[in-house]
Amino acid sequence: MMKAIIGLGLVLGLLVILPAAQYVLAAGDEAGEYLDRRVEIWGLFYRLMIVAFTIGTVVSGTIVWLVLRFRESNPKAKPTEYEGSGEW
């Protein structure tokens, strides 16, 4: 599970870093063409906000599902072997 999380983080990181590196390295290639840094920064900000909101939504949904699934009043909830025997 940890390898999958690290792999996903690496892929998402590359998806953000590679386009940014492309603009930085291509900035001085041809004379007469200027790079509007404000536009590029807002573009990167927009991409990162989409990724952040997507990850936040998934994490929030997972937390809500876990709370509802494992609450004590859930009809399917079973006591663990330690709770059932009364030994802590």
Per-residue model confidence as pLDDT tens digits over 51-82: 999 999 999 999 999 888 888 787 777 777 77
Look up residue 37 and give its amino acid: R
Q: Which residues contact 44 (CB under 8 A, 6 or more apart)?
A: 16, 19, 20
Q: Which residue has the higher pLDDT, 43 or 79?
A: 43
Phi, psi values for residue 86, rounded to 5°: 80, 10
pLDDT value at residue 25: 65
Q: Tell me the domain boundaries of the chain.
A: 2-69
**Integer Rg of the chain from CA:** 23
What is the value of pTM for the model shown?
A: 0.51
User: What proportion of the chain, given as a percentage, has pLDDT over 70?
Assistant: 82
pLDDT value at residue 23: 66
Q: Which residue has the higher pLDDT, 74 or 21?
A: 74
